Each structure stands twice: as structure tokens, then as C-alpha cells.
Structure 1
Amino acid sequence: MAEAQRMLAEGSLRSSSERFVNRELSWVDFASRILELAADAREPALERAKFLAVLAQGMDEFFQVRVAGLKDQLLAQHPIRSPDGLDARAQLRAIRTRLEPVWERQSEVWHDGIRPALAALGIEIVAVEDLSPTLHRRLHERFLEELFPILTPLSVDPAHPFPYISNLSLNLAVRVRDSQGGELRFARVKVPTNVPRLFPLGDLRYCLVEDVIASFIARLFPGMIIEEVGTFRVTRNTDLVLEEGEADDLLELVETELRRRRFGRAVRLEVSSRMSRELVDVLVDELELHPDDVWATDMPIDGSFAWEIVALPIDEGRGIAAAGVTPSIFTVGDDGAGALFGRLAAGEVLVHHPYESFASTVEAFVRAAAADPDVLAIKQTLYRTSGDSAIVEALVEAAEAGKQVVVIIEVKARFDELANIAWARHLEEAGVHVVYGVVGLKTHLKAAMVVRREGARLVRYCHVGTGNYNARTARTYEDLGLFSADTVLGDDLAEVFNYLTGFSHPNRLRRVVLAPQQLRGWLLERIARERDRGPSGRIRFKVNSLVDPEIIDALYDASAAGTPVEGVVRGLCSARVGVEGLSEHLRIRSIVGSFLEHSRIYVFGQGPDADVAIASADLMQRNLDRRVELLIPLEAPATRARVEHILDLAFADDTYAWELTADGRWHRQRGGEGISLQRRLNDEAGARG
């Protein structure tokens, strides 16, 4: 930060890449915040285990996409530099340096913190060698009955090449020697994915399944001497490279690329810290990796096994339980499926998940549309949805009942491509008109529109949200959704759906703001307006990520003009704060808690004339320029006040909030009044329910 201050004094910071924080290193900072919660002894034990699982899952995605992309740039000798001026090689080195302490601390948190806290609840993860002789004998018998028949040792010799190691699979590397002598040989045993990681011993006691296999692995190699057994896992590049403009069939193109993904280049090798250097070298050579790609640990590889701990049927040791109340307007009565629409016609309704139930609001809306004989058509976008989607089944029922049903499915939604392809085919078989979006763009907006006959006219009922139509994630992701029968909104959404399904340009929109056509300009205009107001202006927002250079520069300009700028940024943040003359009026904080803060809120100005909006888009180049996104300004005073109340609590939180400071570090806010945004909103929802 001292360097940034020096450059500002020289007048060079505004034109220097130093004014941005590296996106990838910002993710490492976010990972540190998650780990801090996993390490916090004040958190319930199962909540700490959940944070460990979230961190492991996030790291997997980070390596599969972000690190893999940098390695692709390096191999292609691509001259691209990040906004902060680093090339791919420099970023990879910086990631290794910054991520190593986080990686190493995971182990400490597991062994010294979470594991003892779980034991206090009666949950024990024990080593096979620590079992009594009787239990050890029984475990061996169970191994032979339950695991041995499904295991396959794959040897490496002149007749058997090194086996393909699938992405994120857990494996045992084995070095064996013939009992009659001979050279050491390598073999690989894949840990089955169709058995739990937690192998039950009874009374909430478990062994890890890979430890069970390793302990009795000699049964797979009769007549051989086992010299060494080590656990390892490979992460591969999973980013799809699609040339949509040259494809006749997008579905077929995505399926082809998914098959290629299975054979993506290896980018990370996780190994047990007890694995010998010789065995690690074999894996590095065969996988064509660099020594810097090896990440050793003395905790169980793949911390996502902690999800199985979180799912154990015990009530103690958990965090906030979502209230999940049903707003009165959605209360089911005996007045038929169409009654809900009569209630929604009375005015806009804002719902807030998971404090308010997704099932009894959003799903109920689609189910009512499917069942109501006066509904003629349903149009909806699907980016990610759950495996037991009630919404999809309602859409199928609507189509089978003769309604016109159109669904825009984004088959390029990362890591959900296969599921979305399956949903697309299921819907098409039922007679739903399925569209795959706009060439070259991801359809990320979340919107549904129901067309209903009411007397001599047709009325459009709309839902626009910040989160996916996914019942599973809606229980843990914080999101907002707006229901409205507003005529202007209905007209606008009709234009948007026609744009997504046909050949049109949505240039007559009066209320909603669409990306990539208008959203960037809309945001920059309002930032500039508040900048021109100086200290009497105000900019507030809540997003998942703030990394777009043009938006950050505009916020810097507003701050330099004296305009207060406040942002809640859960994850990535490339902005600097507190730099005199650049960002001393810019305040950024992050809230990481029991629920994943996912809603996007934008407020420009103060009082009744302020622009208050919710959106599907973050402040990222991909959202503003390469995705179809939707922002909707809120009009009803009660709705606007409720959204501003959420922001007020977010900036008052001193329990699960981190503040970004001028030294570029994130500092946990503790020891104040004990305000928790999530707990307060949950309590308020419970009181309303």
C-alpha cells in the first residue's frame, strides 16, 4: 500500500495497474475468510465442518477454471496481462505463495479444531490402526464383503500403461514388489465414488473409506510385498471452449466438449504428506506436471468429505436454521389455483430467501400457473436447477395440459452442463419449447412470466430474481425475488423473452435494464450522477464480485469527488480503499456466514428519488459484456424500504463482516453490538411468519 501512496503522490497511480488488486489473489483472500470461520471455536462444530467443505469445493473450482486458464495462457505463450499488470506466470507464482498458508492451515484447523469439536458431539473419525483387535477383525470382514468385490488394481508395466486418472477422483498409489524378489512396481486403486467416504463403525464412529482400503490393500495383491501406499487426487482443466458460431447443434457441441473435459490437462496433484518423494515423482512425471503443482497435506484429501459429516442426523452443533416462512399472500386456501394471481395483482411482492420459503413462493407460483385453466402460457429461464426440481415438473404438467410453455435453458452453465442437457431433453419430450439462449452469450438472468386470461384481456404475471430456480441452493443461498403484475414490466419481459427465443433487438424497454445492451451504461450514468453531486450523493451496492476495471475507475472518480461509496462484496474484489485522492470515500466489506450472500442490490442516490434495484448481475466484465442479465428498479415504497433495510443491516453487521482496509487486508469486525445481518433477518422473518 505504501507503493500505491507513493505513486499517487507522483500522480501516476491513476494510470497504473497498481490501482487494481489481482482477481485471483482476491479469491485467496476470500478463501482465508471462509477458513477463519472454520477455525472459529465460537462457531458450532457442524457449522465449522460445513465451512471446511465449502472451502474445499471452492478450491476445486478455482484450480479447475482459474488456475487452469492461467496455465493455458502460459502454454500458448499468450501475452495477456491481468488488469493489475501481471502475466500468467507471475500470477501462478503469486497464487502459490499466497495460497500455501491457507492450504497448510486447513490441516491445523481440521486436526486441532474441528475434529475435537466433533468428538465433543460424539462424532469420531478414527484411524484403522487405532481400533481394538476385535473391531479391526470385524472391519477386515466388512472390507471383504462390502469393498473388496468392487475394487480394481491397475498395474503399470510394459503391458499396462499408466492409467488415466479422472478429474477429482480419489486414488491410492501403491508400490509393490514380488515376494520372490524383483523391481518395485507401481499400481493404482481408485476409491469407489458410489460408497460414502465415512465408513460407519457404529455409534457415530467412522473410518475414512480410503484408510480402510489402504489398511487391507494386500488382499488385492496376493503374493506381493506392499512397500508403500499413498493417497492422491488429480485436478484437471474443466473449462469448456465452445465455438458456437460454427456449431449446427449447440447441445451436441456442449456434449462433445464435456467428453473432452474428462481428458483435460492435469493442473494440480494433491498427495498425502507421508507419500515418499519417489512415489510423488512417478505421479508428477506421468501426469506431466511441475513440482509446484503438487500440494501435500496431512489431513484427508478432498475436504468436501465434511459434507457427509454435516448431513449426519443430529441436531446439535448447527448454525442458523433458516426460518423459511411463507408470506401471507402465498398462504394456500381453498379458493383454487387462480386465487394466487388475484392476490399478486394487488401490488408488487418481494420475497427474501432462505428467510422466506422458496417452495411456498416461487415454486408455488409456477405450480399455480400449471394448474390454473386460465393460464395460457408460461415462459421461464433456467440457469441452474436442482435434481428434484418441482418447477421443471410443473412446466411439464403445464405443457401436457396444452399450455404454451417456453424454457430458455443455459446448457453452458459451468459444472451444470450435463444436468441442464438432461432437463432440456426431459422438457422437450413433454412438448415444451426449449431454447438454448443467444449465440456467444450465457443467459444468466432469472425470470418467469405467466400469461393469464382474465375476462376479455390477457394479464402478465412476472417473477424476477437474483438467484437460480433451484430449490436446494435456495435453502442456503440468500437471494431476492420480485413478483409483479405491472403492465410495463410485463411488456418489457415479453420483449426480453422474444429476444432470447427469436430474432429481435429489445430496444423498447421502459423499466428493466438488460445486459449486455444497456446495463453497463446504466450503471456508469448513475455513478457519474452521484459523483457530480459530491458529498450529497450516495452509492451503495451488494454484489458477489467487484472486478470490472471500468466500473472500479468510475467508483474511484466518485470517491475522489467526495461521494460516499459503500459496497458489500462477498467474494472477489479488485478495488483498493482508503487511498487518499483516489478512494478515501470508498468503503468495502464482505459478509460470510451461515447463508451464502448471493443477492445483487444497487442503490444510487438518497430518498424517494433514489434508484433502488435488484439484479442478476455482478460487477464483472463477464456479467456486463458476455451474459444476458437483468436489472429491475423497484418502485413500491415498501419494497424499496425493505431492500435498503437489508443494506443498512449489512453495513451494521459486526459478527460475520470483514472490512477491507487501506493496507489491502480484510479485518474481521468483532466486539461491537453483536449485530448479525443473517440472524437479524431470520428473526424478522420468523416474527412476520
Structure 2
Amino acid sequence: MPTNLKNPALYINRELSWLQFNTRVLKQALNESLPLLERLKFLAIYGTNLDEFYMIRVAGLKKLFSAGVNVSGADRFTPLHQLREIRTYLHEEQKVVEHCLLDIMNRLEKEGIFFKPYRETTLEQRKVLDRYFHENIYPVVVPIAVDATHPFPHLNNLSFGQIVKLRDKDDSSIERYGIIRIPRVLPRFVDIDNRIYIPIGSLVAEHIGDLFPGYELIKFSAFRITRNADIAIEEEEADDFMEMLEEGLKLRKKGEIVRLELSNHADDDLLNFFNRHANVFKDDIYRFTTYLNLGALWQIVGNKDFAHLTAPSFKPRNLPPLDSDENLYAILDKQDLILFHPFESFEPVVRLIQTAAKDPDVVSIRMTLYRSGSQSLIVQSLIAAAESGKQVTVMVELKARFDEENNLIWAKALESAGAHVIYGITGLKVHAKAALVTRRVNGKLKQYVHIGTGNYNPSTATIYTDISYMTSNDAITYDMTRFFHFLTGFSKKGKLGELYMAPTQIKPKLLSLIHNETRMGSEGVIIAKMNALVDEDIIRALYKASQAGVKIELIVRGVCCLRPGVEGVSENIRVTSIIGKYLEHARIFYFKHADPQTYISSADWMPRNLLRRIELLTPIAGEEASAKLLQILELQISDNDLAYELQYNGSYRKVSHDGAHTINSHLIVETETNKVYNSTKKQTPNYVQQLTNRLFKES
């Protein structure tokens, strides 16, 4: 009898799957084999991830609950059920987080890095701290009385400060409450000699008399709030989308408070005072014995004096043919290039745009920009190109969450320079990563394309694993021209020929590729690497492929709603997640019986990517380029050091090894890249030279 593939039991809840992902990040912080500051880095990442989860996902669930929505997602969990599960999970995990931080801090003391409250410092150190307070903190900190004539202040998203209860020195019967806002411009730790870190709240608490003259401190607690930060903008009738976005950014600071974090100094008295005004649900209040803002730990992670306590750095390389002085256009005239970042340098991508900006033969540059960073050489080159009279067209996605302000700044600068700037497509985010350079060569136009899985951001290109594809293939460049025409013009039914574009083409193509492997039965093989797998139709297609005997390897970094190991449904599906030194960000797909077999994409397998964004799926047909992508996939499904395997119950188990045959995919690619770079022979990296691959040994 056919299985009901819509059965909710076959699907893992998206939010609970995300929590499992962040737990895997936390496990890196718990890993005692890693250097201490590397462990602290993962704790900072864990905290930053959790902030965004509350700002977006939990805030969204609260809105659904308030709106009376009963179910959401294939698992059919109600918003209330999800909120309860999330709160239970996080309150339990908080104990692990605090234990982890205390353990790391104790170990750092043996290495000469100390965390101390003000009162545990020496007299000489206090003099330094007092001077720092009066010179750097006192002028910008904001003491606020709260009473009948002083209303409770508005606190922006991620506001940090202290709740204080004070006593009048002249009349001990008079007690008052106040708030001290500690602006984000101040560091969360005041460091002495780059090795002793004093929490800023501890320093502020010792100077209450300076902030509230005539009063003495009875008790205090640090606090931190998280607000709903998801901007909802109605785009219809929008005459000025930039102006609307600026308004949305202001509203983000005023969204509903969805989480309150307090230090363990907070008794019921302080909590009740604060929550009379903040009105945070009791289970969204978290009390900490350690520091509230884990993201602030980046300040310590970045201490250059203790670089030996971080993971060994790796310098991205330019491999043949990009290690020569040969002109980049000449190289692309002869061959396509696949670059595996951050092991292979992002510099050639930057060089493509910088060269185009200066080249008198270049007539136009077209690009999409999603997250380019605050200091972007690429955008600066585009501005220079526009100012020199070249035709520059840039699609700046103003709705790139948490990067909107940078994008607003760049959009205005580009427009001022004379570039044609597109501020988004109504109802859709433009998430595709693409650039097109058009040159005049011997009286004819010649075009060059870059398509990537990651953003045009050289900073993140050193820590994210991504793929770049560079080509002058006429079919691809023609399609890319049509793609940019779709962005700048009107086209409801536009389709590309060689490339595939969401929201109209990628999902049907993926379903077709999966169906094709399904027809091959036990001969079928699918390997897919992505950040998230949520789309129900894709998951059902994979279940059908598994039922037909297709071998399916999924490398999903984060959320995965597919449930492996279900008898009669998903026995042939294995799901792993790699968490390590680099953030896995590339989307690479392999279908054994397709032609071509390999693809890269900007899109994860989620409804938002496939149906509500403009994305690109790019077939990689060249034999060498395709083989390189397949090697990356083979290596990652063989990883037994950084990989976690998804279990039937939704939890993840660390993939084990015997110690003698450790396969750390990040380390292997670093080693192989350096080997090629230092070799006198021109060759392509062979990432799987020493691996015995269980899936492909018979193929």
C-alpha cells in the first residue's frame, strides 16, 4: 500500500531543526580539542545566531499565535506548540551554555586572559578603570529616572543596560527605580593591558553615585532586550521604496519585545518593576549567571596577542591558471573556472570588476548586490566605472535582512555616480549572485560572467565556503544578458535557456532532475549540498526517489525538515551537517543520470528561495569543472570529523572514526590547495585522492 507522504510524522519541525543546528554550533564551543579562543568564537556565533532566531522566527510565531493561526508547516505543529518547545529547549540549553563559558574562562586564566568584576581588581587597576569611566563612559551613558514624572524610556532592539533600585542618602525612606542605558558604541568589556577584561556593567555599577548624585545603590541587574526585527513593507503603491525601507528600519527598533535577558542579580522586585513596562511573557525571560551578550565575546576572540589560542589561519590561494600574470579575460577566453572559496582566493572575482572599471574597452558592467559589506572594493570599482562614463547597472537588494543600511548607503552612492540602480523587484527578493562584463574586442562585443553561491563580500569570502563560476561561454553570457533585462524591464513570463531562474524555473527543474533519478531506481544517485531543506514538494520527491531505491546523500548545514530512516520511505537517504572552521554556504547538486550532472545555485531548497526570490541555478557542463564539484561533494559525504548525522528522531549524532582514518574535509582542502599552490606542476586539486568513497567505488 502506498505510504501517505503528507503524513505530518514524516516531517521535522523547522524551528526545532534550527535549534538542533545551533546546538551543533554550541558543541564546537564544548569541543576541548579546539583552541580556547576558537571555542569562544563558536560561543559568540551561537549567541548571535540565537539573537536573530528570536528577532525573526520566534517573533513570527508570536504574530501567528496572536492572529489565531492554528497550523503552519508540513509537521502541523501549532505556533503555540512550537513556542513551548522552543522555550523548554532553550531554558535547558542555557545551563550548558553557562557551564561552557565558565569552563573556557577558567582555562583562559591559565593562558593569561582574565575576566574580573570591578571589585576583584587591584587598587592600581581600579585607578585605571575609574579614569576610563570618567573619560569614556560617563559622557555617553544615559541614567534615566523612572517615576510618575519620568516615563519608562523606549529601549531599542538589543538594548543593553542596568535596572537599578536607589535610596535617597538624605532620607532612607525614599527609594526609587532607574534605568541606565549603555550605548552600543561602548565595548562590552573594558580591557586592562589587553589581558584583563572587566564587564562594563560591573564598572558602571560602581559609579552609581556619579550617575545619580545624592543616591546610593540598593540593588541592580544587567538587562538586554530583543525585539521583533522583521520588517514588513507593503510595496504596492510604493513611489519611493528607499524611503519606505528607511521607515521600516526605524520601526525595527520599536518592534514588540520578544525576549528579556537578565543577570542573576535580578530579584522579583527588579523584574516586576521592569516588566510592568516591558510586558514580556514569563517563559521568554532568561536569567544568566554569566554575560548576557555572547556576541560581545568577539572582542576577546579578536585579541591579536593571543592568536596562538585560535585555529591556524589559512591564506586563500590563487591556483593555476590564476597564479600567473596572464590577463583574466584571456584566461576566460580559453576555459571556464570553478573556484572553491575560501581555500581559493576571492581576489579574481574582485579583479574582474576592478579590471572592468579601468578597462577602456569595457562598455558595461551589470551586477546583483545582496550583502556587499560596509567596505566594498567591488562597489567602489562600480562607482569609479560609472563616473568614467561606463554603463553600470546594479540590482541592490534593499531587503537583505540586517544588511539594509549598508545597501541603502551603497545604492545612493552608486546612483550619485551615474549608475542605473534597481532597488528590488515588487514581491520578490533578488538573491541571485551574478555579474556580467561586456567588452568591445576587435569591433565586436564579448561578454564575461561570474555566478556565485555566495555574496560579493570579500570579508565573508574568507570564512564561508562558496563556489564561484567564471566563464565567457556564449550561451551562458546570452542568458545572463536576458536575466538582467528581466530585472530592469517588465517580464512576468521570462524564462532562461541555459540557466534556470526562480521563481518560475528552479523548482520544476529540481523536481524533474529528482524524478529522472527516481526512474533509474537503484542505479540512481543524488548528492545535494545546501544550507536548508524545507520545501514539502522537494521532500516528497526525495521520499519517492528513496522508495524507488535511489541512493541519496544530503549535506544540509542547518534546517532539515526531511526525516531520514523511516521504514518504507527514507531508508536510502542519509543527511549530514558539517560544522567546522568555515561556515558551509555553497549549494552544489549532483544527479548521476542528468546531462550535465552538476549544478550550483544561490538557492536553498526552501519555499522562500524557490517561490519568493529571484535565484539562479547554473548547470556546470565542463568535464574538469564538473569533476571538481563532484570531488567536493564526495569529500564532504566522507567527512567523519566535522560531520553530524541526522537521526530519525530529529537529533544529530556525531559521525565517528577510529582515529587512524580521520577525514576532516576543511583540513584536507587546505592541505590540497597548499600542495597545488606550492607545486611547480600545473594541476587541479584532487580533494579525494586518498579517500575510499563508499558511494562511488562501484560507479
TM-score range, shorter chain: over 0.9
1:150 Cα deviation from its structure 2 partner = 2.2
Partner of 1:152: 142
Confirm or deny that 1:674 pairs with 2:662: yes
- Does 2:246 match 1:260? no
TM-score normalised by L of structure 1: 0.95
Q: 1:384 to 1:203 in 2, by over 3 A?
A: closer
Question: Quick check: 658-667 or 370-379, which moved more?
Answer: 658-667
Q: d(CA) in 1 for partners of 2:446 and 2:621? A: 19
- 1:508 and 1:665, CA in 2 relative to 1: closer, same or farther beyond 3 A? closer
What is the one-letter code of the residue matched to 2:533? L
Give distance in 2, aligned partners of 1:450 and 1:129. Answer: 61
Give distance in 1, aligned partners of 2:276 and 2:372. Answer: 40
Contact 1:239 1:261 in 2 (8 A): yes
Q: Is the 8 A contact 1:570 1:597 kept in 2?
A: yes
Q: Structure 1: how far apart are the matches of 2:4 and 2:238?
A: 45
TM superposition shift of 1:296: 1.1
Q: Partner residue of 1:648?
A: 634
2: CA distance, partners of 1:203 / 1:15: 57
Q: CA deviation at 1:387?
A: 1.1
Note the 1:473-622 alignment, pairs <5 A: 473-505=460-492, 507=494, 509-605=496-592, 609=595, 611-622=597-608
The Cα of 1:196 is off from its aligned counterpart by 1.8
Letter of the 1:110 partner, please give it.
Answer: L
For 1:508 and 1:260, the matched residues in 2 are separated by 37
Structure-2 residue corresponding to 1:344: 332
- 2:66 counterpart of 1:75: yes
1:185 partner letter:
R
Amino acid at match of 1:538: V
Matched, 1:472 2:472: no
2:696 corresponds in structure 1 to: none
How far residue 355 of structure 1 moved from its aligned partner, in angstroms, is: 0.5
Shift of 1:559: 0.6
Bigger CA drift: 481-490 or 141-150? 141-150
Asked if the contact 2:316/2:345 (under 8 Å) is kept, the reply is yes
Aligned 1:17-32 pairs, distance under 5 A: 17-32=8-23
- Within 5 A, what are the aligned runs for 1:211-250? 211-250=202-241
Comparing 261-270 with 127-136, which one deviates more in the overlay? 127-136
Distance across 2 between alignment mates of 1:532 and 1:122: 62
Aligned to 2:133: 143
Select the residue among 108, 118, 121 that pairs with 2:108.
Answer: 118
Name 1:324's counterpart in structure 2: 316
In the alignment, the residues of structure 2 paired with residue 87 and residue 183 of structure 1 have an alpha-carbon distance, to the nearest angstrom, of 48
Confirm whether residue 368 of structure 1 aligns to residue 361 of structure 2: no
Q: Which residue of structure 2 lines up, in the alignment, with residue 462 of structure 1?
A: 449
TM-score (norm 2): 0.94
1:58 counterpart (44, 49, 52): 49
- Residue type of the alignment partner of 1:391: I
- Offset of residue 342 of structure 1: 1.3
How far apart, CA to CA, are the structure 2 residues paired with 1:246 and 1:76?
Answer: 25
Secondary structure (helix, strand or coil) at the match of 1:326 reads: coil
Bigger mean CA deviation after superposition, 244-253 or 513-522: 244-253
Q: Deviations over 1:181-202 (max 9, x none)?
A: 3343211111132222221211
* Contact 1:329 1:344 survives alignment (8 Å): no
Report matched runs for 1:172-251 at 5 Å: 172-179=162-169, 180-251=171-242
- Give the Cα separation in 2 of the matches to 1:274 and 1:236: 23
Asked whether the equivalents of residues 437 and 501 of structure 1 are also in contact (C-alpha less than 8 Å), the reply is: no
Residue 623 of structure 1 corresponds to which residue in structure 2? 609
Q: Aligned partners of 1:366 and 1:391: how far apart in 2?
A: 6
Are the equivalent residues in 2 in contact too, given 1:323–1:685 (CA < 8 A)? no
Give, in angstroms, the shift of residue 257 of structure 1.
1.3
- 1:328-348 CA-partner distances (Å, limit 9, x unpaired): 333463x7xxx3211211010
Secondary structure of the residue aligned to 1:149 is: coil
Give the letter aligned to residue 396 of structure 1: I
Equivalence for 1:445: 432
Call closer, same or farther: CA 1:531–1:407 in 2, change over 3 Å: same
- 2-structure distance, mates of 1:506, 1:487: 23
Distance in 1, Cα, partners of 2:3 & 2:436: 50
Structure 1 residue 133: Cα displacement:
3.0
Which residue is 1:377 aligned to?
364
Match for residue 681 of structure 2?
none
In structure 1, what is the Cα distance between the partners aligned to 2:623 and 2:45? 37
Identity within the alignment, %: 37
Gaps of 5+ in 1: 1-9
- The whole-number CA distance in structure 2 between the counterparts of 1:26 and 1:320 is 31
Q: Which amino acid aligns with 2:275?
A: V
Query: Mean Cα displacement is larger for which, 42-51 or 661-670?
Result: 661-670
Q: 1:6 corresponds to which residue? A: none
Deviations 1:486-519 (A, max 9, x none): 0000010011100001113564522111100100
**Does structure 2 retain, via aligned residues, the 8 Å contact 1:496–1:506?**
no
The answer to whether 1:356 aligns with 2:344 is yes
Q: What's the CA shift string for 1:608-627, capped at 9, x where partnerless?
A: 84520000000100000000
One-letter identity of the residue aligned with 1:162: F
**What is the SS of the residue equivalent to 2:516?**
helix
* Matched residue type, 2:458: A
CA–CA distance in structure 2, aligned partners of residues 322 and 530 of structure 1: 39
Matched, 1:426 2:413: yes
Give CA deviations for 1:216-263 in whole Å, capped at 9, x if unaligned: 223212221211111000000010111112212211111111111111
Shift of 1:394: 0.5
Q: Secondary structure at the match of 1:590?
A: strand
1:548 partner amino acid: D
Pairing 1:73-112 to 2, within 5 Å after superposition: 73-112=64-103
Q: CA deviation at 1:203?
A: 4.9
CA distance in 2, matches of 1:486, 1:11: 46
Letter in 1 for 2:126: H
Cα distance between partner residues in 1 of 2:22 and 2:83: 16
Does structure 1 retain, via aligned residues, the 8 Å contact 2:597–2:626? Answer: no
SS at the partner of 1:426? helix
Counterpart Cα distance in 2 of 1:17 and 1:661: 17
Whether the 8 Å contact between 2:486 and 2:494 is mirrored in structure 1 is no
Task: Name 1:45's counterpart in structure 2.
Answer: 36
Change (3 A) 1:403 1:588: same
What is aligned with 1:7?
none
Deviation string, structure 1 residues 425-484 (Cα, Å, up to 9, x no partner)? 000010011002321000000000000111121111000000000111111111000000
Preserved CA contact (<8 Å) 1:538 1:563: yes
Alpha carbons 2:596, 2:620 under 8 Å: kept? no
Q: 2:382 aligns with which of 378, 385, 395?
A: 395
Contact 2:363 2:439 in 1 (8 A): yes
Report Cα offsets for 1:69-117 as digits up to 9, x if no partner: 01111222233422211111111001111222222211100002x2123
In the alignment, is the contact (CA less than 8 A) between 2:3 and 2:569 conserved in 1?
A: no
The CA distance in 1 between the partners of 2:165 and 2:669, in whole Å, is 56
Q: Which amino acid letter does the alignment assign opposite residue 215 of structure 2? A: M
Residue segments in structure 2 that go unaligned for 5+ positions in a row: 678-699
| Structure 1 stretch displaced more, 393-402 or 218-227 | 218-227
Amino acid at match of 2:191: P
Query: 1:556-585 CA distances to partner (integer Å, 9 max, x unpaired)?
Result: 111111111110000001110111101000
- Alpha-carbon displacement from aligned partner over 1:308-363 (angstroms, at most 9, x marks no partner): 11111132011242330113333463x7xxx32112110100111111111x2110
CA contact 1:446–1:469 (8 Å) conserved in 2: yes
